[in-house]
Amino acid sequence: MHLIIFSDLLTPRIKYIFTFIFKEILKAEVEFTGNRQYFLESSNARISYGASPLADEVFFKSTSLLFANKFDKINLKTTTFDDYSVPFPVEESALPFDVFAASFLILTRYEEYLHQKTSEEDFKPSQSLQSKWKMLNRPVIDEWALIIKSIIKKKYATLKFTEKTFSHQPLLNFAVVPELPDGFVNKAKFVFSTLFKKENNFLSAKFDELTGVGAKAETIIDKVNPTLKGKIKPIYFVEFPSVPINYVRINGVSQRLRDKPVGLLRPCASDKEKLGQILDGLTKLKKILPGQVSLMSLQMEPLRFPICYLNLHSAGITTDFSMGYPNVPGFRAGTCTPFNWYDLQLEKVTPLVINSYCLTDLQLQNLPLPEARALISKYLNVVITVSGSFYTCWNLKSLSPSPKYKKLSTLFNEMLAQAGI
């Protein structure tokens, strides 16, 4: 027995969000149909999505969002569900709101597309609908999926769902320190340029090493790897300085990362989100790691929709880990399950796979140790409950032996232990 889903009109939006919930989260075998007779005669588990049920199937009443083919401002109404608010209230349905329209609205970051159409300012977490609805701190789409599963199982007890498993992967990021060029004149020009280019981090990195605040990246990588005991592999994200490629060379860092997953850090950091900047970063990454095909990215800066994702996709990036808020914990896309980015401008699913992080060291560093521990436990537990993917972002410097970062290093190790690593 598998799941058959009926709608009079099977739009790209309907197929996208139903596929995500049933295939990616619930791991169910799904079939779509717009044929009423075929649906009514089927012996499989049946779900319909529309204005009214066809027979005695599990019925979810629809609203208009998933039948639209362009993104416009929506006048949203809400209702209370559990202890938070939800959009698209409906009646005479398996749930008191259109769970699929709500999931699509949140997952596609619909509101951020609209924000960028009318404002050049960065989108703030406090502006998000999830923040206003008191649900930013939970992977609501995964939770809703489990509720849907329970509803279906009550009617179709023999329908099988493959169980998902919890996963945990820290995201470690750092900036590459450029090498001094050969020759006195070239060295003088290079050092002088560091005074005026914040992207060139040579002097700041050397100052940190001299004062004991920082440590060489290879030293920290050597410290972190034994802690992980080979049970998981963190993903390392590298930011390259704004210098010619001949200043970037294979060194101790690149040798230690040869067998590690590595991606680009801040590929969309420029104001104009230039495609050339991403391609330049990929070229430098290939130079220090010639044996790898690294097509991953992590922004850790205000993420602008849709230009950053458009350029990542055009540059050949296949996997991105930027879906989160650097300064505020939470689930920006309402999920802890990887998903394909849906381009609302073209109304199509793209190959770019999005992974969401929910915590960063920046959010933890100013909290008292007990509060930071409680915050990690809270988010770890909600992800474990829905068998999701737990991603957290850490600057490699935060794990250094420096006394300044002792608290963060302790929290990192405790987090690994709590996650069963």
How would DSSP label each residue in 263-298?
EEESTT-STT--HHHHHHHHHHHHHH-TT----EEE
pLDDT greater than 80 at residue 188? no
pLDDT greater than 60 at residue 214? no
Q: What is the mean pLDDT of residues 135-160?
A: 97
Q: How confident is the model at residue 52 (pLDDT cuts 50, 70, 90)?
A: very high
Domains present along the chain, CATH in parentheses: 3-155 (no CATH), 167-418 (3.20.20.370)
Q: What distance in Å separates the CA atoms of residue 210 and residue 354, rounded to the nearest whole number?
A: 39
pLDDT at 322: 96
Higher pLDDT among residues 179 and 264, named by residue: 264
pLDDT greater than 80 at residue 84? yes
Type and span of the H or E element at 84 = strand 84-87
DSSP string, 341-355: EEETTTTEEEEEEEE
Using DSSP bridges, classify how beta strands 389-395 and 167-175 pair: parallel, antiparallel or unpaired.
Answer: parallel
Q: What distance in Å separates the CA atoms of residue 331 and residue 56, rounded to the nearest whole number?
A: 36
Higher pLDDT among residues 418 and 340, named by residue: 340
Task: Give pTM, 2 decimals.
Answer: 0.91
pLDDT at 251: 78
Q: What is the mean pLDDT of the chain?
A: 89
Q: What is the pLDDT of residues 193-209, one digit of tens each?
A: 555 554 444 445 544 55
Peptide bond into 306 cis (omega under 30): yes
Q: What distance in Å separates the CA atoms of residue 419 and residue 408, rounded to the nearest whole number?
A: 16
User: Which among 275, 334, 264 is positioned nearest to 299, based on CA atoms?
Assistant: 264
Q: What distance in Å separates the CA atoms of residue 398 and residue 181, rounded to the nearest whole number?
A: 29
Report the b/e string of 326-361 with b at 16+ CB within 10 A. Answer: bebbbbbbbbbbbbebbbbeeeebeebebbbbbbbb
Q: How confident is the model at residue 250 (pLDDT cuts 50, 70, 90)?
A: low
pLDDT at 36: 97
pLDDT greater than 80 at residue 181? no
8 A C-beta contact, residue 97 and residue 133:
no
Q: What distance in Å separates the CA atoms of residue 282 and residue 294, rounded to the nearest whole number?
A: 8
Type and span of the H or E element at 5 = strand 3-6
